[in-house]
Amino acid sequence: MLRSQTKLFALGKRQLCRSMSKSCDLTLVEVDDKTGIATLTMNKPPVNSCNLEMMRALKDSMKQIEGNKSRGIILTSSNNKVFSSGLDLNELRNPEQERLVAFWKELQEMWLTLYLSNLPTAAAINGHALAVGCVMASACEYRVMLPGFTIGIHATKFGYVVPPFIVNSYLSVLPRPVVERALLQGKIFSTDEAQQINLIDEVANSKEEALSKCASFIGSFAEANPVARALTKRQLRAEFARTLLDEPEAELKESLEYITSPLFQDSLDAYLAKLKSKNKK
């Protein structure tokens, strides 16, 4: 198993830290010295799928940003077509038990770290954000998206039950009837549709504009006391994080049983074959 490592570099006025795997930097962090805002860039080719190492890198980067007293986090992608394609489906296919346990725990911890971050969080969605890609964007406090892309949780379309904490990610952004319909349909929204239902807050015409809008949102908390803000955010969000805070083992057990069931494995095989065949045509 690759261990992610983090390095800090001084780069002119900026600090750059990277979470690295053997072959590439999975995440990049740049802190703007003027604003104190950290940009956390997902950088796992080809489509920022979240395997164990990627989620660990994301969690470690977020913790490091919090430790560095940054003023906020902007989550974005180095790929200009895909923000994130969600969980790495190869991690779920015929998994080895020990790795699957580590993988699912990392998903729980990564989500909790982002959802309950002490810092203001925003997503500059510069490409498709599917399934857990959408969940990560929804866990942020603000979302700015570029036109021409898609966002949503389409799990039920390919036979996946949606775990409660993923339902809660949507519920913290969208009204319940909208969540129910979207999840049951497995609806993927265009940028325009996402704006209409307030799944995203703003549309930007370039990544730079999206980053700038996210920075303005984070700047809007300049007058708020950071500790009071963080504790109030935690209070507001604790209810939706309750399952994972109080009973992570129960959620883990339920998810593992489901993932390793023949029902799930069969539908995953069919889905992966469809995904691969697209590129062979």
Ligand X SMILES: CCCCC/C=C\C/C=C\C=C\CC(=O)SCCNC(=O)CCNC(=O)[C@H](O)C(C)(C)COP(=O)(O)OP(=O)(O)OC[C@H]1O[C@@H](n2cnc3c(N)ncnc32)[C@H](O)[C@@H]1OP(=O)(O)O
- Contact footprint for ligand X (CB under 6 A): 46-47, 49, 81-82, 85-90, 128, 130-132, 155, 160-161, 163, 254-255, 258-259, 275-276, 278-279
The smaller minimum CB distance to ligand X, of residues 105 and 229, is found at 105
Minimum Å gap between C-beta 160 and ligand X is: 4
Residue 93: closest CA among 275, 245, 281, 271: 271
For residues 224 and 275, which CB has a smaller minimum distance to ligand X in the complex? 275
Kindly state the smallest distance separating residue 115's Cβ from ligand X, in Å: 16
Whether the CB-CB separation of 66 and 117 falls below 8 Å is answered with yes
Count of residues for the chain?
281
Give the SS3 label for residue 76: strand
C-alpha angle 183-189-193 in degrees, rounded to nearest 5: 120
Q: Which of 108, 73, 61 is nearest to 87 (CA)?
A: 108
CB of 225 to ligand X, least distance (A): 36
In the bound state with ligand X, the residue whose beta carbon lies nearer, of 89 and 101, is 89
| Number of Cβ within a 10 Å radius of residue 129 | 33
> Would you say 4 or 255 has its CB closer to ligand X?
255
In angstroms, what is the minimal distance from the CB of 196 to ligand X?
21
| 33/8 Cα distance (integer angstroms) | 15
The token pair at 191 is 């940028």
> Distance of CA 69 to CAs 47, 63, 85, 275, Å?
30, 10, 30, 41
Residue 236, φ and ψ in degrees, nearest 5: -65, -35
Find the shortest distance in angstroms from Cβ 188 to ligand X: 9
Instruction: State the nearest-atom distance from the C-beta of 2 to ligand X, in Å.
Output: 17
- 61 or 108, CB closer to ligand X? 108
- With CB atoms as reference, the residue minimizing the distance to ligand X is 86
Distance, CA of 273 to CA of 215 (rounded, Å):
40
- Using the structure block, give the residue that is written with the tokens 């997503």: 123
Minimum Å gap between C-beta 63 and ligand X is 22
Q: Which is nearer to ligand X, 231 or 273 (CB)?
A: 273
Stretch (H or E) spanning 178 = helix 176-185
Q: Which residue's CB is nearer to ligand X, number 158 or number 221?
A: 158
